[in-house]
Amino acid sequence: MKYLKYIIIVSGFAAVSVSCSDNYLEENPPHIIAADNLYVDLAGFEAGLNGLYAQFRRERGGETLGSSNDLMIDPAVTGVDNCYGNQRSGWNQVGNDFATRNVTTEAHNRHFFEWIYETINAANTIIVRAENPDIDWAEDDKNRVVAEARLFRAWAYRHATYMWGDVPMSLDESSGSSIKTDWKRTPIAEVRMQMEEDLLFAEKYLPETSSNPGKVVSAVASHYLAELYLAMGDPTKAKAKAEAVIDGPFELITERYGVKKGEPGTPFTDMFLVGNSNKDEGNTEALWVMQHELETIGGGDNIMRRWHRNRSHSVKVDGVSGVVVFDEANGGRGLGRIGPTRYTMELYEPSDDRGGVFAWRTYEVLNNPDKIPDGWALGDTVWFDWKGRDEKIKDTYWPSTRKWDYFNPADPSGARSYNDQVYLRLAETYLLLAEAQLALNDAAGAAETINVLRRRANASEIAASNVTIDFILDERSRELYSEEHRRYTLVRLNKWLERIQMYNKVGGPTAGEKDKLLPIPQSVIDANLTAPMEQNPGYTAE
């Protein structure tokens, strides 16, 4: 029998148990970690939270689908106005060809759905079991644990609602007899009300700062509340939450710092260097940092460099291949699965640090002494001639962001990266504030808020007359390319279809009205055995 496993799967630290109705067969093997023997004290709940952080790290991890490792968050960052699929691999193939590939049986959509609901159920398990009166713990500890779990639940529903709109909403642990096969899709307005409740609780009970660099703090909840209130049509509340974050203990990076302070670079790009991500490393701007650790059990890894850095090893000069080998200077091994659209690269002024050579790789350096073409020398630079032409598939002479550079000398061609990475930062909060100010008819205030970021980047300042929603979207791309969940922002502002058709020359011509939301996976609909589940408009069963 099929079940809606995407709702009921418990993450790796807990197991589903089924008991017979007359309880004559009960087992509690002490050597197996299950929800019943894990969530009995604070240490058990901390272990459960670690499981949630592991789920969180999967967003940037390599998920095995078929014979390849695919970036989980691919559907949220590519197939949009500023990013397209440069190679035929992963979900970005859908983003390049919505007309034929964005279907109800698409494997990456299903896998994403499963990941989200695994996370929701893991969070629900912690939240529900924290109410057990037999647990001996301090009220402050309980509130903080529940606050973390509720933030993750809201974070997961944020993914779900922007991807699929109305979604099944569960607030209970799913196990045993509570497994359901009659799920209904909850209207997005109701889901957002629950997200608001969860985030307000998290904001109240999470600490302002933490000595653990990977732990969520109250500003993370406030930031997501600002975005949520914009989605709910309440810019006044959004403005208040964004201002609370900006007035808090975080500050924009405006001066050089950290591991390469004495070398050429910019304050903006310092944030993305290995060793500069965390607060104790000097990063005052990061609200939430994703933690990874090399050669550590449970340390996690990611494939952001593999996905975003273009294929240096495929560059050929005057008929000679292999002129570039992997090293620290060129950011390590990249496979260029996705890349910026031409529109993205043309957004920057010449003086803007966010578009300069420390932020973007628009060249390759010949660093292989065994493969030097005639007339060239070791160390020569090959500049890409990308201006004036559109993006295309399998283009190794196309720019790529340097935000995710990583090199492990012990494994030069390794696919994985193990550096800590900024996940959410104050600059995005400024852009949410500007959006709220514009919605409140304060274009002058919005311009000044944006100018704070532009001054940091050495870009020219703007006037109130320049500020529109489209300008803010352009500024978000300049500032947050490959960091933000671009699809979500465009869907929230009802700009996805308009802008992908206007600016994405590969995927834009294939996109249509139905593609604003992804299809509910057919396997989920089929598994809902005792009640029909509505599909999103425009999709039919395959």
Find out whether 353 and 362 touch, Cβ atoms under 8 Å.
Answer: no
Amino acid, single-letter form, for residue 272: F
Number of Cα atoms under 13 Å in the Cβ half of residue 14: 34
Dist CA 283 CA 289 (whole Å) = 10
The string of pLDDT tens digits covering residues 403-420 is: 999 999 999 988 899 999
Counting Cβ atoms within 10 Å, is residue 456 exposed (0-12), middle (13-18) or buried (19+)? buried
Question: Domain ranges in the chain?
Answer: 1-18+29-174+510-542
Q: Is residue 400 pLDDT above 80, yes or no? A: yes
Alpha carbons 112 and 292: distance in angstroms, whole number: 21
Q: Tell me the average pLDDT across 487-511.
A: 98
The answer to whether residue 5 scores a pLDDT higher than 50 is no
Type and span of the H or E element at 167 = strand 167-168
CA atoms of 369 and 379, how far apart (whole Å): 9
Which of 16-20, 76-80, 194-198, 346-350 comes out lowest in average pLDDT? 16-20
- Give Cα separations from 454 to 264, 430, 463 (angstroms): 20, 11, 12
Contact 36, 17 (CB under 8 A): yes
Pair 286, 331: CB distance under 8 Å: no
Provide the pLDDT for residue 542: 75
pLDDT at 32: 64
Cα 135 to Cα 41, 157, 201, 205, distances in angstroms: 6, 28, 21, 19
Q: For 16-71, write each residue's pLDDT tens digit.
A: 232 333 443 445 555 566 788 899 999 999 999 999 999 999 999 998 886 678 99
User: Helix, strand, coil % (nearest 5) of the chain?
Assistant: 45, 10, 50
pLDDT at 13 over 70: no
* DSSP E strands, 347-476: 360-361, 363-365, 381-383, 400-401, 421-425
Instruction: Report pLDDT for 185.
Output: 97
Q: What angle is formed at CA 408 by the lines to CA 405 and CA 413, rounded to 5 degrees?
A: 85
Given this model, what pLDDT does residue 33 score? 67
Reported as a single tens digit per residue, the pLDDT across 295-308 is 888 889 999 999 99
Q: Which two tokens stand for residue 204?
A: 């109240």
How much of the chain exceeds pLDDT 90, in percent?
Answer: 87
pLDDT of residue 117: 96
**For the residues 89-95, what does the mean pLDDT come to?**
94
Note whether 487 and 73 are within 8 A (CB). Answer: no
Both tokens assigned to 306: 């593999």
Nearest to 491 by CA among 81, 151, 33: 81
Burial environment of residue 357 by CB neighbours within 10 A (0 to 12, 13 to 18, 19 or more):
middle
Tell which CATH classification among 3.40.50.2300, 1.25.40.890, 3.20.20.105, 3.20.20.70 matches the domain 1-18+29-174+510-542. Answer: 1.25.40.890
Confidence of residue 178 (pLDDT cuts 50, 70, 90): confident
Q: CB of 70 within 8 A of CB of 90?
A: yes
Sort strands 167-168 and 185-186 into parallel, antiparallel or unpaired.
antiparallel
- Dihedral in degrees, nearest 10, Cα atoms 394, 396, 399, 404: 90
What pLDDT, on the 0 to 100 scale, is given for residue 27? Answer: 52
Residue 317 pairs in a beta bridge with 320
Encode pLDDT of 500-526 as tens digits.
Answer: 999 999 999 999 999 999 999 999 999
Q: What is the pLDDT of residues 337-390, one digit of tens each?
A: 999 999 999 999 999 999 999 999 999 999 999 999 999 999 999 999 999 899
pLDDT at 224 over 50: yes
As a whole-number percent, the residues of the chain with pLDDT over 70 amount to 93
Flag whether pLDDT at 323 surpasses 70.
yes
pLDDT at 9 over 50: no
Q: With CA atoms as reference, report the closest residue to 294 among 421, 420, 423, 422.
A: 420
The pTM (predicted TM-score) of the whole model is 0.93
